[in-house]
Structure 1
Amino acid sequence: MRPSPVSATVDFAADGVQHGFLRLPYSRDDAAWGSVMIAVTVVKNGDGPTALLTGGNHGDEYEGPIALFDLARTLRAADVSGRVIILPMMNQPAFAAGTRTSPIDRGNLNRSFPGRPDGSVTEKIADYFQRVLLPMADVVLDFHSGGKTLDFLPFCAAHILPDKGQEAEAFRLVRAFGAPYSVRMLEIDAVGMYDTAAETMGKVFVTTELGGGGTASAYTAGIAIRGCRNLLMAAGILRGNPEAMPTQWLDMPDGSCFTFAEDAGLIRFCADLGDRVSKDQCIAMIYPTGRTGLEPTELRANRAGLFTARHFPGLVKPGDCVAVIADEVDGA
């Protein structure tokens, strides 16, 4: 396979603190010899495990970038045993545009793995992570939030895996992160995901959903900042002990957790995030907007549980996920 066109201005093997870029050549109308510049910080101190910390996988999710920009400016090499690689805006074109997908090629980075060195801009970024960054890592923390179209109870999560040792270590770090909720995650669309790429390599992979609506609150940003440092401490990379935080474990065991719209219109929620709902309870109504006087369509819960995520904008289209209901369970 041809080499990656991405080049790094940092030396991943050098001790100390380095701030630089991953530079991807990108010829465009306003810059014939232009580049996509993805900011990266490397903090290394001797031998030890490597943590790869990423935000901005989707460009309209902000808690992760806030936590990682903060960490990049404050983390000292003397406090680290091993290496921390920090990328606050993994998909820089999407982050700059404030969109979920890249404005260059409409690529969803989190569905583009393993990528291609001769593909689109998004595929080239995915390829560099697949072949260069992920092989360096022992632990991967990829921050997500709801973006502009979902809102979540703030949780940290990992996946159920065939390798139970790998799974147990991931859930140990989820617990150390200390989000208000911790989730045993079920993905409804796992093809091409960064998560899958990392886990297939045997990496310990942890992720989050920390709010939504295309913004970050002081509360959710604080969870991200504290949780990131807690995870690094628990992984033995950052000096100190994780701050113990209460968490409620949640499980999403199957597809009945997800409710999808089959009609377009104006959505009215009949339950709020954090509410306990019963099976067949009406959790939302969709009003048709073409004319007045029409009855709304009722959306009912497929299962009993905790209302964990919801569609964010007021208008929905057929196929939109409008609600996620999870089971409250004992700790993993």
Structure 2
Amino acid sequence: MSKRPSPISATVDFDADGVQHGFLKLPISVDESAWGAVMIPVTVVKNGEGPTALLTGGNHGDEYEGITSLLKLASEQRAEEVTGRVIIVPCMNQPAVMAGKRTSGLDGGNLNRSFPGDPDGSVTEKIADYFTRVMVPMCDVVLDLHSGGRTLDIIPFGASHVLEDAEQQRQALEGAKAFGAPYAMMMFELDAAALFDTAVESQGKVFVATELGGGGTSTPESMAITERGVRNFLIHYGLVAGEVEVPDAPQVYLDMPDASCYVQSQHSGVLELCVALGERVEEGEVVARVFDPTRSGTAPVAYRAGRSGVLAARRHPALVNMGDTIAVIADVVDSLG
């Protein structure tokens, strides 16, 4: 049975040349607004024929490098600088962005765990469905900008995935490298089935993701990496002219081959991180301790690295609950792909 058309409508013409600023409008009816709409900002910059790039931020609402850099790009990008079409969606999950949370302030939905979506589902599922069936088919390449949000700190990297299609994987990996972050990652996802990544890759499109910081904020350093990376991405795929700007230091290649990269807490308590972000760790080394705050005189539980590598991510809040990821360790490799 085929799905009905998406209830979301665009106030921009995706086929018109020039620069347009508008919205993706999703009708809603809530206590505060009986005949309301979720208004997702969108900018389309088009100049003749050429490839189409979709740039997204705010897939999670507390990840600010992508949101901020794309809001800035949308206000500055000129049509005459573009060959083809650039579609900019700085706040993909607008209800989450306005709530300052990872998940939607309307239905609690995690957009990046809701694909391919449902036009008859929740607000979050309707947004996912629109991107799956309307936005992604328009594009050739997608850059989805993430960071650690309020609960993680992550070293800055561009990422791609292992794919069945070798050429699709090669093109994505080259884009992840060209982004020009200090690190490039071949990333292992704990559960990829409902990700935006998978929705894009399953349509044969080139998908590049990033992780660019965390702690529920941005820094001058993380913003500089992000802005340079977005421009590098557009240059690499032929949408704007110029030369890709390489990092000052040689890019470090990282691989996450399996779930052993993740260190997850089996206890709730107060977290002590024993290794700095980006630091080398050896298999068996203590990377964190969890203390029981309900009584004194109790020894902490030590968490050890399951593999050697670098600390690619760590939990940001010191209060930890059972099941939380407290560290991610990635292998340093000579090459990717």
Which of residues 278, 292, 307 in structure 2 aligns to 1:288? 292
Task: Report the TM-score when normalising by structure 1.
Answer: 0.99
Which of residues 306, 321, 327 in structure 2 aligns to 1:323? 327
Q: Which runs of 5+ in 2 are unaligned?
A: none
Question: 2:32, 2:280 → 1: CA distance?
Answer: 53
Q: Which residue pairs with 2:78 in the alignment?
A: 76
Letter in 1 for 2:219: S
**Alignment of 1:152 onto 2:162:** no
Q: Residue 176 of structure 1: CA displacement?
A: 1.0
Q: Which residue pairs with 1:3 in the alignment?
A: 5
Q: Which residue pairs with 2:313 in the alignment?
A: 309
Helix, strand or coil: the match of 1:33?
strand
User: What is the correspondence of 1:50-89 to structure 2 with a 5 Å cutoff?
Assistant: 50-89=52-91
User: What is the correspondence of 1:213-224 to structure 2 with a 5 Å cutoff?
Assistant: 213-224=215-226
Helix, strand or coil: the match of 1:116?
coil
Which of residues 203, 206, 209 in structure 1 aligns to 2:205? 203
Aligned residues: 332
Q: Residue 244 of structure 1: CA displacement?
A: 2.0
Letter in 2 for 1:210: L
Aligned alpha-carbon RMSD (Å): 0.7
CA contact (8 A) 2:98 2:105 kept: no
Q: Which runs of 5+ in 1 are unaligned?
A: none
CA contact (8 A) 1:153 1:211 kept: yes
Q: Residue 173 of structure 1: CA displacement?
A: 0.9
Question: 1:75, 1:225 → 2: CA distance?
Answer: 12
Q: Residue 103 of structure 1: CA displacement?
A: 1.5
Residue-by-residue CA offset, 1:155-196 (whole Å, 9 max, x unaligned): 110111110100000111111110001101111121211000
Q: Residue 331 of structure 1: CA displacement?
A: 3.2
Question: 1:2, 1:153 → 2: CA distance?
Answer: 41
Which of residues 275, 278, 282 in structure 2 aligns to 1:274? 278
Task: Report the TM-score when normalising by structure 2.
Answer: 0.97
Which of residues 154, 162, 178 in structure 1 aligns to 2:180? 178
Q: Which residue pairs with 1:254 in the alignment?
A: 258
Q: Residue 151 of structure 1: CA displacement?
A: 0.5
Question: 2:255, 2:32 → 1: CA distance?
Answer: 48
User: What is the correspondence of 1:57-136 to structure 2 with a 5 Å cutoff?
Assistant: 57-136=59-138
Question: 2:59, 2:32 → 1: CA distance?
Answer: 25
Q: Residue 232 of structure 1: CA displacement?
A: 0.3
Q: Which residue pairs with 1:167 in the alignment?
A: 169
Letter in 2 for 1:320: D
CA contact (8 A) 1:248 1:331 kept: no
Farther off after superposition, 269-278 or 194-203: 269-278
Q: Which residue pairs with 1:30 in the alignment?
A: 32
Q: Residue 70 of structure 1: CA displacement?
A: 1.1
CA contact (8 A) 2:256 2:331 kept: yes
Letter in 2 for 1:252: M
